[in-house]
Structure 1
Amino acid sequence: MLKKSLQILLCVFLLTSAESIAQKKNKKNKNAPQPVAADVKKPDGKKEPKPYKKVIDSTAVTQKGLIDVHKVGDKYLFEVSDALIGKEIMTITRYSKTPAGGGIFGGEEINRQVVRFEKGQNNTIILRSITYVIMSPDENKPITKSVKNSSADPIIGIYDILAYKKDENGKENVGSVIDMTAAFDSDLQTFSLNPINKQLLSIQAFQKDKSFIQFIKSFPINTEIRTTKTFTTQAPQISRTPMPKIGTDFPAALDAGVITMELNTSFILLPENPMRKRTFDKRVGYFANGYDVFEEDSQKSDTDIFAVRWRLEPKNAEDAERQKRGELIEPKKPIVYYLDPATPDKWKPFIKQGIDDWQEAFEFAGWKNAIRGEYWPENDPSMSLEDARFSVLRYFAAEIQNAYGPNVHDPRTGEIMESHIGWYHNIMSLLRDWYLIQTAAVDPKARNKKFDDKLMGELIRFVAAHEVGHTLGLRHNMGASFATPVEMLRNPEFQKKNGHTSSIMDYARFNYVAQPEDNVKDLFPRIGDYDKWAIKWGYSYFNGAKSEEEEKALLNEMTKDAYKNRRLWFGTETSPYDPRYQTEDLGDNAMKASEYGIKNLKRILPNLIEWSKEKGEDYSELEGLYNSLVGQFRRYMGHVTKNVGGIYETPKTYDMEGNEYEIVPSSIQNEAVAFLNEQLFKTPTWLLDQNIIAKINPDNGVELMKGIQDGTLSSLLSYDRMARLMETSSLNKANYSIDELLSDLKKGIFSELRTNTAIDVYRRNLQKAFVSKLIDAISVDKNVSANFNGRRIVIADTDLPSISRGHLIELRSQLRAANALATDRLSKFHISDLVARIDKALNPNR
């Protein structure tokens, strides 16, 4: 198990199924040696291998490659060379064509796994699925036997050898011919959809009579299999009472009762000379893989965790020495991404530029021309978009507003072998909304319903660079934006030189802090200081290092030196405690940054009608933009809230100074609550622009405001956050506590009690929500728990009910006193109601 501080997903889901082929029992002595030579007579009824030319006759159409494939009639015969026996092969299955309306698209990966051909008994070839869970580094040690006994790999196919290929002298067998037609024209899970995918897509029975192999092509290091598969689907349930349904109803299935899709499976040989692993370091943001390792001399098992990255090596020893002297050299094999020819022509140059932008980062690691984007060559029959030899950015005609950047890597070493980036057409709609809502106050080009091609192209370039970063092995660095002081976000010279975040891998979309008077022009993320450093860490070639351990020592010194510069820090995307690591935020102080952001939202909101209008169109565009603006405001509230009960998490090693965990200072937590009282709990009526709301909704925004305030209050008073506050304030009274939090909130939420002013509907809703949450805390069930650091904390057994009860008693006294002075009729009703609710909660049996 990984320690909590890693907090990364390292699991590789390799789902397999068994294909059984009936065999008659061997009548020989069961104690006899199991392997059967080619010339040994088989049991009665078992067909013996035939002469090669009788099986691969003159009618055979042959393709040479990783596996020689012979098409004889309607059969596909694989000639598995003896040299391939025991070698590990990655199989990757992707959709080539999909039915419309199911949320799946041609080019997307379905599954991947490693397989291996083995010699079986009685003239058979076995195909196994290989899972990397536990390993032993030394094959000659006794413990290796224990590892093998505990990690049997499943058999997914056993195939009769139809003929043996002889060597040039016609004496020795050098290959075995097997019929693998049934593996591909059936529904064998390894080369089809797994049960989870089928359930999500409501797929049921495989239709053999409507399924077939389109073609199989073989190349030097890979073999490609294209199939057409047809399935029945689950019929829609008709019921008068709504019932939950798992799965998608394809329109084609509703019309025809079946769906048909095309799949492509790639067999690609894993490197015979595995790449040297680079030990994972939680101070640098790389995806990782790993497995448990059992060594002969160890006293416990260890976990070998290594970074996922491409293999970049010098062409020769002379180049390696030149690079060591500081010269840039070209790698033996550069990283190339092809653009799907289905990509609209006007966006291709921008996407290509987003790929090429990474060249500068690789120069920091000593490489030139290490990465590039290429247009897909026209009319080249040797290339296929699903071919595992090629990395491709696939363009999907889909309404999904997203893009993603996966990679396929060698599970033994982390070597990335290829990537298929997914790009959905409607990502442009999301980019338009983001950019308009975040920058229209300072960029006139953003004040349009439709952006011009240059602006949209630059937005596309930014997203392409971000997704390519993932395919290079880089995780999100959610702490990068924290390295920029808030006031520097308003400095045009600083922004021109550094940008608003030190990493394009952050979710720091656009500079929403810059004010109109600042004259800041650089509003886009770009490949920054951290990205260059991270590429240097992952792709530097250490010519003198003789082992992984020597590399690790060199990298550790590099990392410690990098930690002197805050812009080179990595901030994990998985920390629930650290307010420095958040999505969509900017700057080193969420309160200051959000205040600037709100100022810009107030400038943008009155213009939404003008910027979204089009003759003859309804107000759906306006509604979408208004919802985006409200969503941006909600994000600001979330950014601030995370400071309360926050804990800084800075990965450290024994040879570094300082602690890994530090409590967010009380002054910052207090500042966060003061911000929420001022910007949210004091009703932000500016959001409720009736000129807009009356065009898109029948209501006046009361429930909208209630939802925003209640959502933030629920997060602020969540049991997990309360558990952290109790823990962090237990030994040091200077740390922010639950008592202080509730006192600060009461002062803001119930300010009318001190001033004897009328309580409007928004505040009445908010005050009821606050009281309800305290009542819930004093009557919490024993089964209710919080989670902190992986531990279950029973809330009923903590101080939270006691503190909440004390605050309810105090609040009841304040309400009673205020009620005697209140003159507003609805305010008096409201206060009386709150007193009654508190009375009932404190004395439930009265």
Structure 2
Amino acid sequence: MKRILLAAAFALGLLLVLLPAAVRGEWSSRSQTAIISAERSLDANAGKTGTQPAISAKTLAQAQSDEDETAPAPSNLMPFEQATKGTERLNGLFTLYRDRAGGNLYAEIKPEQLNVNYLCTITMESGIGQGGIYSGLPLKDFLFNFRRVGNKLQFVVPNVFFRTRPGDPLQRSIKRSFSDSVLQALTIRSIHPQRKSLLIDLKPLFLSDLPQLSQFLADMLGSAYNVEAGKASFGPVQVFPLNVELESDYGITGAMGGEPPPFLSALPDSNTFNLRVRYSLSQLPANHDYRPRLADDRVGYFISAYQDFSDDSPREPFVRYIQRWHLKKKDPDALLSLPEKPIVFWIENTVPLEYREAVRDGVLMWNKAFEQAGFKDAIEVRQMPDNATWNPADVRYNTIRWLSSFDADFAGMGPVRVNPLTGQILDADILIDANFARYLKRTYQTFSQSQQSQSAQKPLTSRSRLCGDGMATPLSKSMSAPALKSRRMLQRLGNYDLCYGAEASRQLTIGAMSLSMLHSAAPGSNAMKQFVQSYLRSLIAHEVGHTLGLRHNFRGSAMLSPAELNNTTITHQNGLVSSVMDYSAINLAPQGTPQGDYFTQTVGPYDKWAIAYGYTPSNALVPQAEMRLLDKIAGRAPEPALAYATDEDIYAGLDPLATPFDLSGDLLTYAPWQMENALKMWQTLDQSSPTKGESFSDVRQKFDEIFYYYFQYSRFLTTYVGGQSFNRFRSGDVAGRLPFEPVPAEQQRQALALLQTHVFDANKFRFSPAFLNKLAPSRWEHWGEEAQMDSLDYPIHDRILSLQARVLYDLLNTDRLSRLRDADLKTHGQSFALPELFGTLQTAIWGEMFKPEEKLQLSSLRRGLQREHLKALTNMVLRTADVPDDARTLAWYELKQLANALDRVLKRQGRDANIETRAYLEETRDRLAKILDAKLQTQ
């Protein structure tokens, strides 16, 4: 019998292989239709038992013990009335019983509520205002259900990653293969004699470390903390027909025997503090007419994905839904209609009065985009009254919340809560850190003292590429420790927008300094207030975009040419950028050009197109039937204003136009403009600062901000070398275009020439001695302020060399060298290749050795840059750096040429050379001889 079954299975498999592709596609489509039908059936019967086998099947163990759900009550259970005696009954989605002392909280689970999926969202209700532990921060959200097993009620997170169509025999295999997660098994205290409902104690669940605070604190603070069970207690509890809101207060203590807790300036005692967590338990909406929408990688949406085991077509097994709100037209036949139920955002009553209008404008900016999808006034904004009785963390309200922190690394964040079965967005809360505006009232001091101290010591190395402004480890593919920590934080919190504010605050700072230094605007002037309002509108629009389901688009900044950026006739109509989902850089007009918009003030063409993809209604009954409509919309991807590149596209540093915090489609023109603006601000700072009564430490902080701005734009030029445009469009979208398009060789040469002029030429950084001697550090020493103890004078040499070295190492990064090695194969030999890069850098950095002056005299900065270049090539030759072999050979060749040149120079200079220069040249020659004669290190 087994042989017969195996033979039949083999025949069926062979038949599938031989079927025409069109038939297989129809089979796949029917499978998809069945799955969607099952999902809609589950949604329609959300309150009934046993209606979810296709989506979140019971585990095999639970399926084998279904009889336990109706098992007779054990004899040792307390009578229901006795178990709830002395409690207050709270009727809502779940009936709760709370004793008057507040220590105990019980829940009554009805039989029809067993094995039904609900949504749990966990939010940090109170934080410590430091170290990433902030009020309003999302911690977790997941589906859960209650399952009875004997005299226990399990709190279960169902596994929704693997699904089948109803009735598919594979469903049994999935039950065995992929486990659900049982977070807690709660003892049944009593069973109601008539209602047959089960009474459970919620303390073991919601006073336990369900949010994994211990691990979260270890990740964020770098030290072990314990959640003290004896200190945990319930806070306010609210019940509603569709949701339950409860708070738990946790006592946190530093773990004994581990790493000592860090010093936290925001706490009176860093070893112990309290955190309050909000749990929102809500019913999934019964939207019978909501249809998931399939994703397309040409358009940037967050995704809910699962594997469809019933689909045996040869394509990849994932089904991907975009995350979006459920919007329906009030008049389905109208070209432009009001929605049946708009998306409503509430401005929290903590938002300062002076910013509420800008916040409102930033939200409503998106209504222009929704008109492309056929909706008029799809979004509404309302003001939370001062006497509101509801909490902004309540899942029934989408809020814009004001966060007060000591050191927040973000200005804004826009998390959403999503039904993982369908991708439907259910709730959104935008967090704005009040520090973004406080800097203006402190005369441009953007960062807390701890950040200033860190920035002063490591201005160019302490930030990661993850935030869009750092460098990868030199000559290595490994990611820096700060980048890894940032990535872990993103993975833990979900795909939220955490780095925008860290660099956005810097953009705000440099813009305000430009207004003051180049346009004579006072801190309290109308011009300065309008500037801050324009920034806030742009920031809010970005965060609202996330809550609508949209991901970042780092190609958005490349829409306009440099000449168009300050033409307000263009920017007021189409924006500075094609998408507010880019990380927006400050737009500073070049010297002699009237200033236009500093930040974009309208959604761009990409934003409108993306909303059209996600929200245009269709009459299709299942997602597959929408494909013709969606493909028509997504097929516009090759249009220049609709170019899209998101987070995972930028880590390689491949595309010079897909970079955070850049601006314009021509950085070879725009970047030198901004570096010249920085030089002009330095000059003004030297001449006009400090003003009477101003601290010299303020001058130092401003100097650092300008320095970093200069570095930011010099770094953008490196991405042209070995760069390629990466396009997401598909075959057939446009003729003659391919996914990868190398940057023209002439543009790569131009980028290197600009780096030689603006970075490697130390004459660009000639500051007056009086200016450098103004740069005093802050001398405050108390909690929250740490006085600098060492090297009180400004380390100008190290700063400039750090800038030069970082750019140099980025040019010689392993990935860039590998791409240049491949250039000949990808451009028919008409390329900028490895030999030209090595030769150009050798000439730019060691030119004096090949065309020596009568009496050679090298500055300390010049010697420092040459040593860094020598070190980079040495690491390649000695195989201590992981680079392509061709790059290693060229490094050896350049060092050989340099050794010969040094011999000639030393013979020509004789004893007449400057002693410091001659000592340097002789040492370098000896070092080269040893390097070229050294034994190679094995890999």
Tell me the TM-score normalised to structure 1 length. Answer: 0.85
Q: Deviations over 1:689-711 (max 9, x none)?
A: 54432111524622211111111
Q: Give the Å deviation of 1:248.
A: 3.9
Offset, 1:640: 0.5
Greater helix proportion? 2
How much identity, in percent, do the aligned residues show? 23
| CA-CA distance at 1:641 after TM superposition | 0.1
Task: Determine which of 654, 663, 671 is the counterpart of 2:750.
Answer: 671
Contact 1:515–1:596 (CA under 8 A) maintained in structure 2: yes
Name the residue aligned to 1:213.
Answer: 234
Q: 1:504 to 1:651 in 2, by over 3 A?
A: same
Deviations 1:748-792 (A, max 9, x none): 2222232525332221211121122111111114xx546xxxxxx
Instruction: Establish whether residue 225 from structure 1 lines up as the match of residue 237 from structure 2.
Output: no
Establish whether residue 67 from structure 1 lines up as the match of residue 94 from structure 2: yes
Mapped to 2, the partners of 1:719 and 1:644 lie a distance apart of 13
**Aligned residue for 1:504?**
580
Residues 254 and 308 of structure 1, relative CA distance in 2, 3 Å threshold: same
Paired residue secondary structure (2:906): helix
Q: What is the match of residue 120 of structure 2?
A: 91
Structure 1 distance, partners of 2:707, 2:281, is 49
Structure 2 equivalent of residue 603 of structure 1:
680
Alignment of 1:284-295 (within 5 A): 284-295=299-310
Q: Which residue type is aligned with residue 593 of structure 1?
A: Y
Asked whether the 8 Å contact 1:401–1:426 carries over to 2, the reply is no
Give the gaps of 5 or more residues in structure 2. 1-62, 440-445, 447-503, 777-792
Secondary structure, aligned partner of 1:152: coil
Q: Could you tell me which amino acid in structure 1 is paired with residue 229 of structure 2?
A: K
Report matched runs for 1:10-89 at 5 Å: 35-36=67-68, 40=72, 42=74, 46-48=75-77, 50=79, 55=83, 59-72=86-99, 74-89=103-118
Contact 1:102–1:248 (Cα < 8 Å) also in 2: no
2:906 aligned with 1:819, yes or no?
yes
Match of 2:539 in 1: 463
Using the TM superposition, give the Cα deviation of residue 807 of structure 1 relative to its aligned residue in structure 2, in angstroms. 1.5
Indicate yes or no: 2:576 matched with 1:481. Answer: no
Residues 346 and 398, structure 2, Cα contact 8 Å, conserved in 1: yes
Q: Secondary structure at the match of 1:574?
A: helix
Distance 1:494 1:257 in 2: 56
Q: Contact (CA 8 Å) 1:213, 1:226: kept in 2 or not?
A: yes
Cα 1:684–1:567 change in 2 (3 A) is farther
Q: Structure 1 residues 616 and 642 mapped into 2: Cα distance closer, same or farther (>3 Å)?
A: same
Change (3 A) 1:724 1:302: same
Match in the other structure for 2:295: 280
Give distance in 2, aligned partners of 1:361 and 1:286: 15
Tell me the CA shift for residue 743 of structure 1. 0.9
Partner of 2:727: 650
**Corresponding residue to 1:695 among 774, 787, 800:** 774
Q: Deviations over 1:671-728 (max 9, x none)?
A: 1111111211122434635443211152462221111111100111112211121122
Q: Secondary structure at the match of 1:827?
A: helix
- Does residue 616 of the first structure (1) align with residue 693 of the second (2)? yes
For structure 1, which segment, 262-271 or 157-166, has the greater mean C-alpha deviation from structure 2 after superposition? Answer: 157-166
Tell me, in whole angstroms, the C-alpha distance in 2 between the residues paired with 1:130 and 1:612: 62
**CA-CA distance at 1:349 after TM superposition:** 2.1
**One-letter amino acid of the counterpart of residue 500, structure 1:** L
Residue 121 of structure 2 aligns with an amino acid whose one-letter code is I
Distance in 2, matches of 1:397 and 1:649, equals 40
2:622 maps to 547
Q: How does 1:396-795 map to 2 (within 5 A)?
A: 396-398=403-405, 399-402=407-410, 403-428=412-437, 429=439, 430=446, 434-435=507-508, 437-438=510-511, 447-449=521-523, 452-512=528-588, 514-526=589-601, 527-542=603-618, 544-563=619-638, 565-575=639-649, 576=652, 577-608=654-685, 613=690, 615-656=692-733, 657=735, 658-686=737-765, 688-696=767-775, 698-699=793-794, 701-730=796-825, 732-753=828-849, 754-756=851-853, 758-781=857-880, 785=882, 795=884
Change (3 A) 1:554 1:597: same
Distance in 2 (CA, whole Å) between partners of 1:269 and 1:379 is: 27
**5+ residue gaps in structure 1?**
1-30, 238-244, 787-794
- The match for 2:272 is 258
What is the deviation of 1:593?
0.8
Describe the SS at the equivalent of 2:757: helix
The worse-fitting range, judged by mean Cα deviation, of 633-642 and 371-380 is: 371-380
Contact 2:116 2:146 in 1 (8 A): yes
For 1:288 and 1:39, the matched residues in 2 are separated by 41
Residue 350 of structure 2 aligns with an amino acid whose one-letter code is A
Q: Take 1:436 and 1:102, find their aligned partners in 2: how far apart are those partners?
A: 22
1:172-213 deviation digits (Å, cap 9, x = unpaired): x464333323322x32x3356252435645454443333211
Identify if the C-alpha distance between structure 1 residues 705 and 139 changes in structure 2 by more than 3 Å, giving closer, same or farther: same
Query: CA shift at 1:161, angstroms?
Result: 4.1
Secondary structure of 1:506's partner? coil
Residue 742 of structure 1 and its aligned partner are, at CA, apart by 0.8
Question: What does 1:147-226 align with in structure 2 at a 5 Å threshold?
Answer: 147-164=174-191, 173=195, 175-184=197-206, 186-187=207-208, 189-191=209-211, 193=213, 195-198=215-218, 200-201=220-221, 202=223, 204-226=225-247
Q: Considering only aligned residues, what root-mean-square deviation do their CA atoms show, in Å?
A: 3.0
Aligned length: 773
Secondary structure, counterpart of 1:736 in structure 2: coil
User: What are the superposed Cα offsets for residues 287-320 of structure 1, whole Å, 9 maximum, x if unpaired?
Assistant: 22322221254457611222222221234xxx11
Alignment-mate amino acid for residue 842 of structure 1: L
Q: How does 1:140-151 map to 2 (within 5 A)?
A: 140-151=167-178
| Offset, 1:492 | 4.6
Q: Distance in 2 between matches of 1:215 and 1:832?
A: 76
3-state DSSP of counterpart to 2:112 = coil
Does the 8 A contact of 1:499 with 1:523 survive in 2? Answer: no
Other structure's SS at 2:773 match: helix
Check if 1:389 corresponds to 2:466: no
* Cα distance change, pair 200–495 in 1 and its aligned pair in 2 (3 A): closer
2:807 aligned partner, one-letter code:
T
**Matched ranges for 1:253-402 at <5 A:** 255=269, 258-273=272-287, 275-295=290-310, 297-298=312-313, 302-315=317-330, 319-322=331-334, 326-327=335-336, 329-381=337-389, 383-398=390-405, 399-402=407-410
Q: Does the CA contact (< 8 Å) of 2:372 and 2:611 recur in 1?
A: yes
Shift of 1:249: 4.3
Deviations 1:443-498 (A, max 9, x none): 86674456643332232222122122122222221111222122222545333433
Give the 3-state SS of the residue equivalent to 1:35 in structure 2. helix
Q: 1:759 to 1:64 in 2, by over 3 A?
A: same
Aligned to 1:21: none
Change beyond 3 A, Cα 1:609–1:119: same
From the superposition, tell whether residues 689 and 426 of structure 1 become closer, same or farther in structure 2 (CA, over 3 Å). Answer: farther
Residue identity opposite 1:143 in structure 2: L
Measured in 2, the distance between the counterparts of 1:836 and 1:506 equals 50
Check conservation: 1:142, 1:296, Cα contact below 8 A.
Answer: no
Inter-CA distance 438–97: structure 2 relative to 1 (3 Å threshold): closer
Contact map agreement 2:296 2:634 (CA 8 A) in 1: no
Q: Indicate if the aligned counterparts of 1:392 and 1:421 stay in contact, CA closer than 8 A.
A: yes
CA 1:453 to 1:677, structure 2 compared with 1: closer, same or farther past 3 Å? closer
d(CA) in 1 for partners of 2:660 and 2:520? Answer: 22
Residues 247-290 of structure 1 show CA distances to partners (whole Å, capped at 9, x for unaligned) of 64456877495322221111122234474222222211222232
Per the alignment, residue 835 of structure 1 pairs with 925
Secondary structure, aligned partner of 1:214: strand
Cα gap change, 1:686/1:102 in structure 2, threshold over 3 Å: closer, same or farther?
A: closer
The structural deviation recorded for 1:65 is: 1.7
Counterpart CA distance in 2 for 1:727 and 1:711 is 24
Q: 1:490 to 1:521 in 2, by over 3 A?
A: closer
Q: Is 1:809 the counterpart of 2:906 in the alignment?
A: no
SS in 1 for 2:635: helix
